């Protein structure tokens, strides 16, 4: 019973961390309140988009999983409208 409790608590922690990452990604992706041009980290936008799409990239009965390989360099921040970029 003690081992089960430890596993359950670990699973809950992993799940809560995952939920937090999804919420942060959705908040970053939407950027509804940002209507002015500013410096934006492209990597952050790409990460948020992939986090949101992660479930859709998994294998389905009608198709295999879609593998995303991230190999980006160190890009400088870009001056743009963050909401439109996403």
Measured CA to CA, the distance from residue 22 to residue 64 in angstroms comes to 23
* Interacting residues of 41 by C-beta distance below 8 A, sequence separation 6+: 77
* Interacting residues of 65 by C-beta distance below 8 A, sequence separation 6+: 57, 58, 59
Residue 86 pLDDT > 80, yes or no? no
pLDDT mean over 6-35 = 81
CA-nearest of 18, 13, 11 to 3 is 11
- The pLDDT of residue 32 is 54
Measured CA to CA, the distance from residue 71 to residue 78 in angstroms comes to 18
Residue boundaries of the structural domains of the chain:
2-85
- The pLDDT of residue 64 is 94
pTM above 0.85, yes or no: no
* pLDDT, tens only, 47-82: 888 888 888 888 999 999 999 888 878 888 989 887
């Amino acid at each position: 019973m003690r081992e089960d409790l430890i596993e359950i608590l670990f699973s809950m922690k992993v799940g809560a961390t995952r939920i937090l990452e999804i919420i942060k990604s959705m908040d970053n992706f939407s950027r509804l309140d940002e209507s002015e041009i500013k410096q934006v980290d492209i990597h952050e936008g790409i990460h948020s988009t992939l986090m949101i799409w992660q479930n859709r990239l998994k294998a389905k009965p009608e198709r295999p999983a879609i593998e995303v390989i991230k190999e980006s360099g160190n890009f400088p921040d870009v001056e743009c409208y963050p909401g439109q970029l996403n």
